[in-house]
Structure 1
Amino acid sequence: MKNLLAIAVTSASGILLFSACAKNNVPEGPNKPDAPITLISLAQPVKESMSGFSFTFFKTLMKEKPVNENIFVSPLSLHIALGMVANGAAGETRDEIVKVLEAQNLSKEDLNQSYRTLLEKLPNADPKTSLGLANSIWYKNSFAVEPDFIKTSKDYFNAQVTGLPFQPSDVNTINKWASDNTNGKIPKVIDKFDDGLVMLLMNALYFKGDWRAKFDKSKNQSKEFTKADGTKIPVQMMRLEDTVKYASNGNYTAVQKLYGSGQFSMTILLPQSGTIEEVFNQLNLQEWNALQGGLHTTKVALELPKFKLEQEFRLEQCLQTMGIQKAFTNVADFSMLSKAFTKISFVKQNTFGAVDEAGTEAAAVTTIGMILTAENPDAIPKFICDRPFGIIISENTSNTILFMGRITQPVSQ
């Protein structure tokens, strides 16, 4: 499992990583898949881009949130949504997006092809799990979109591209798309169309996998869960003796539990003495690969709390911290998307996650909103005194003010 492709969860005492298994790390022995593995072939720079972005994004977002707050997000969904946006960007705006995606060593064609591969291969990787990936672009009818951008979005992202009046009733149409592509788990992503909004770019990701070895509900116990601040809350703890992949490096222990036929898995990381933040902050692409190489098969007595989360994250600040700056400003260059001057107004992700005795169900919808900027940033500034204004007459070397005035009714002879 060389590359992290989907979802990360953190709570007050552990980290769970949901991931896709590549052929070069197929479990053996009792964990050997009971169906043929589907090879998802990605170039090494693509794998590094996906995994590196996943850890950087999650660690950046983790710093924004209180230590007692759950975080459940989809790095893959955000990566794909930003990848669509990148095709509409040019110059420094595109450079910043691509750098944050850790894809600066990839050509536009290679990056787009990797998205097409994932969209085609991931949903069919394991016949015993359900996985859906979908993209859509919604634009205001009066907004002129570049034909090449639409073609690229359809060809590589299989995106549904739809023009709408952006009237109040259209909100229901967009929310229905989100609901339909997440099995109803995310029924609403927008409440209204903000002023100036001309486009929404969306990615939906849905995953449902039954444990290969399920928990027995009759063995559940009510237990106390100690939060980061030391307070305790009751949880329903699932219990199972299972043969799993296991590793321990002194800072944390890791267990890898399989779904379905064995191509997808959940890796659970439990700190030994420090905090989740300390464990996660040491995780990067190299550490993740080292962990995979250190896993060995053994029998463990696993206890995992049941949980269900429904969350929404605004990600503008997180992405700006990571390095996407110009895309949010009036000097953004989205000339490959439209000749009109546009910028990103918001990036949000709605997520759902549930872990129980049978398995895991998870969903995410990433929504990126584009608005028109005030005007052409290269145009000569306009200063039209067609409303009350003020004047100051001063001597420049001493900065002495001679006269001051408020002109509310200018009258000329």
Structure 2
Amino acid sequence: MAALCCDLLAPGSCVCLGIPGGSVGIPTRPGQVPRKMNPLLGLGLLLAGLLTVEGLLKPNFSPEKHEAVSQGQVGKGKGTAQELAKRNTDFGLKLFKKLSFSSPDNNILFSPWSISMAFSMLSLGAQDSTLAEIKDGFNFRNIPDKDLHEGFHYLIHRLNQRNQDQRLGLGNALFIDQKVKPQQKFLTEVKNMYKADTIPTNFQNSENAQKQINNYVRQKTQGKINNLVKNIDPGTVMLLINYIFFRARWQHEFDPKETKEEDFILDKNKSVKVPMMFRVGVYNVGRDDQLSCTVLEIPYQNNFTAIFVLPDEGRMKQVEEALGLETFARWKKLLVRRVADVFVPRLTVTGNYDLKKTLSHLGISKIFEEHGDLTRISPHQNLKVGEAVHKATLKMDEKGTEGAAGSGVQTLPMETPIRVKINRRFLLMIWETKMNNLLFFGKIVNPSGR
């Protein structure tokens, strides 16, 4: 099983490669003796996302040194990184619409950034039509390979940051069996461009391999993602892991004493009790009369923000159909700083997705098939991605940490507050604001997670 882990307040995504028995004959020219190719090997991708929004980090948190981005790296990757952020958003919207269409009444939560980064890393091993399909499906087309990977390299450096108020960590790892003899060029590129650890693993002992991988993910996500790998398919020889881990403090925290149990409307005839957080403060709020929805921005410390989109009752489908880069740009212009009574449900939501099935609807299928071309990973072995799974979990609450520095008192203008109550299904987006990068995307139908 290969794993890509993305941390969004969620466990991750994984892609697996397996080894069926037998061998494959390679087509030959007339008169040529058919040669045998090695058995099909299994490669796995596992993406894990963990996103935690729960006030301050624990006081014993020890910041690590953040590796500075050199001026050379900035020059190489910054322009492409900005373009990648835009294309990642567009990919996220396409994927969201597919997921929502298949499950309109379920919670949705995923990290488009994590999924894109994982498959971009994997594309280092692809070529010909398989590479073209990845680039087309993830909106990487017309970006030269070198620029693509330098752009992700820049974003990884840019986003990897820790301080006492937040933690955003991104990382990649390759668990490789002795059966596979990867190209040194592939290993060097995934290390240099994606900072991927390379870890020797004995997949024949699946129980130990599973334990090794889960321990790695647990350590990298500070114990928040446990048992990411439930089982390893027979024949798996490589596991790619990508993780993104985000914990952040609200710029202005909610007071837990103000949280009350209230109704969250599931449909016309049904509701569920949820802990509803409350705060009065100055927020960016906008009203889109064209799409019949309210847009609310709640910022975190530093360069991250949450956007809530609350459609009027019965208007979610209309809003979903209109989602696009132009709609986002229009919402940004509609936002006005206002004093607002803000009600937001405290929630924990998890999304689990079979990316193999979902991505095929977006035209990405060769990488999962026998005739896919991943020979830049290992030229003498026939690799395919056997499984690609993405899991993301979001925890959002009002808590701060006792004894930590407060966020200060916010002076409010003398005006009548506008009331924004998130008490029915809504959309949620977590953005990194400097690069305008969409890290997480969700639709919350039931904040209780049931």
Q: Same fold (TM over 0.5)?
A: yes
- Which residue number in structure 1 is paired with residue 192 of structure 2? 155
The Cα of 1:275 is off from its aligned counterpart by 3.5
The Cα of 1:316 is off from its aligned counterpart by 1.0
Report if aligned partners of 2:9, 2:392 keep a CA contact under 8 Å in 1. no
Q: Deviations over 1:126-151 (max 9, x none)?
A: 76321110101111111111111111
Question: Which AA in structure 1 matches 2:384?
Answer: K
Could you list the runs of 5+ residues in structure 1 that have no partner in the other structure? 10-17, 19-37, 366-413
Report if aligned partners of 2:7, 2:243 keep a CA contact under 8 Å in 1. no
The Cα of 1:231 is off from its aligned counterpart by 1.4
- The answer on 1:312 being equivalent to 2:384 is no
- 1:3-22 paired onto structure 2 within 5 Å: none
- The answer on 1:247 being equivalent to 2:286 is yes
The Cα of 1:331 is off from its aligned counterpart by 0.6
CA distance 1:82–1:228, change in 2 (3 Å): farther
- Which residue number in structure 2 is paired with residue 349 of structure 1? 390
Larger relative contact order, structure 1 or 2 (CA cutoff 8 Å, min sep 6): 2
- 1:132-171 paired onto structure 2 within 5 Å: 132-166=169-203, 167=205, 168-171=207-210
- Which residue number in structure 2 is paired with residue 46 of structure 1? 84
Identical pairs, percent: 22
CA distance 1:138–1:345, change in 2 (3 Å): same
Question: Which AA in structure 1 matches 2:262?
Answer: K
Within 1, Cα distance between the matches of 2:144 and 2:163?
Answer: 30
What TM-score does the superposition give when structure 2 sets the normalisation length?
Answer: 0.69
Q: Deviations over 1:299-346 (max 9, x none)?
A: 111100111124432211110001101111111011111121111111
Within 2, Cα distance between the matches of 1:104 and 1:84?
Answer: 15
Q: Between Structure 1 and Structure 2, how many residues are aligned?
A: 330
Report if aligned partners of 1:308, 1:354 keep a CA contact under 8 Å in 2. yes
Give the SS at the match of 2:228: coil
- Which residue number in structure 2 is paired with residue 358 of structure 1? 399
Give the SS at the match of 2:361: helix
Report if aligned partners of 1:306, 1:355 keep a CA contact under 8 Å in 2. yes
Question: Which AA in structure 1 matches 2:301?
Answer: G
Could you list the runs of 5+ residues in structure 2 that have no partner in the other structure? 1-5, 11-50, 52-68, 401-427, 431-438, 441-450
- Which residue number in structure 2 is paired with residue 174 of structure 1? 213
The Cα of 1:125 is off from its aligned counterpart by 7.9
The Cα of 1:180 is off from its aligned counterpart by 1.7
- Which residue number in structure 1 is paired with residue 329 of structure 2? 289
Larger Rg: 1
- Which residue number in structure 2 is paired with residue 204 of structure 1? 243
Report if aligned partners of 1:84, 1:201 keep a CA contact under 8 Å in 2. no
- Which residue number in structure 1 is paired with residue 36 of structure 2? none
Give the SS at the match of 1:193: coil
Report if aligned partners of 1:88, 1:334 keep a CA contact under 8 Å in 2. yes
Within 1, Cα distance between the matches of 2:314 and 2:350?
Answer: 27
- The answer on 1:115 being equivalent to 2:152 is yes
- The answer on 1:268 being equivalent to 2:268 is no
Question: Which AA in structure 2 matches 1:198?
Answer: V
Within 1, Cα distance between the matches of 2:161 and 2:88?
Answer: 20
- 1:28-39 paired onto structure 2 within 5 Å: none
Selected match of 1:55 from 71, 82, 93? 93
What TM-score does the superposition give when structure 1 sets the normalisation length?
Answer: 0.75
Question: Which AA in structure 2 matches 1:305?
Answer: P
Within 1, Cα distance between the matches of 2:321 and 2:221?
Answer: 31
The Cα of 1:94 is off from its aligned counterpart by 0.8
CA distance 1:6–1:246, change in 2 (3 Å): farther
Report if aligned partners of 2:9, 2:395 keep a CA contact under 8 Å in 1. no
Report if aligned partners of 2:172, 2:194 keep a CA contact under 8 Å in 1. yes
Within 2, Cα distance between the matches of 1:103 and 1:6?
Answer: 22
The Cα of 1:191 is off from its aligned counterpart by 2.3
The Cα of 1:159 is off from its aligned counterpart by 0.2
- Which residue number in structure 2 is paired with residue 68 of structure 1? 105
- Which residue number in structure 1 is paired with residue 167 of structure 2? 130
Question: Which AA in structure 1 matches 2:200?
Answer: G
Within 2, Cα distance between the matches of 1:241 and 1:281?
Answer: 32
- Which residue number in structure 2 is paired with residue 219 of structure 1? 258
The Cα of 1:283 is off from its aligned counterpart by 1.1
Give the SS at the match of 2:84: helix
Q: Deviations over 1:382-411 (max 9, x none)?
A: xxxxxxxxxxxxxxxxxxxxxxxxxxxxxx
Within 2, Cα distance between the matches of 1:186 and 1:81?
Answer: 18
Report if aligned partners of 2:7, 2:170 keep a CA contact under 8 Å in 1. no
The Cα of 1:230 is off from its aligned counterpart by 3.7
The Cα of 1:229 is off from its aligned counterpart by 6.3
Give the SS at the match of 2:376: coil
The Cα of 1:274 is off from its aligned counterpart by 3.4
Report if aligned partners of 1:307, 1:356 keep a CA contact under 8 Å in 2. yes
Q: Deviations over 1:251-274 (max 9, x none)?
A: 21101111113x111000000243
- Which residue number in structure 1 is paired with residue 115 of structure 2? 78
Report if aligned partners of 1:246, 1:296 keep a CA contact under 8 Å in 2. yes
Q: Deviations over 1:352-377 (max 9, x none)?
A: 211111379x9x99xxxxxxxxxxxx
CA RMSD of aligned residues (A): 2.6
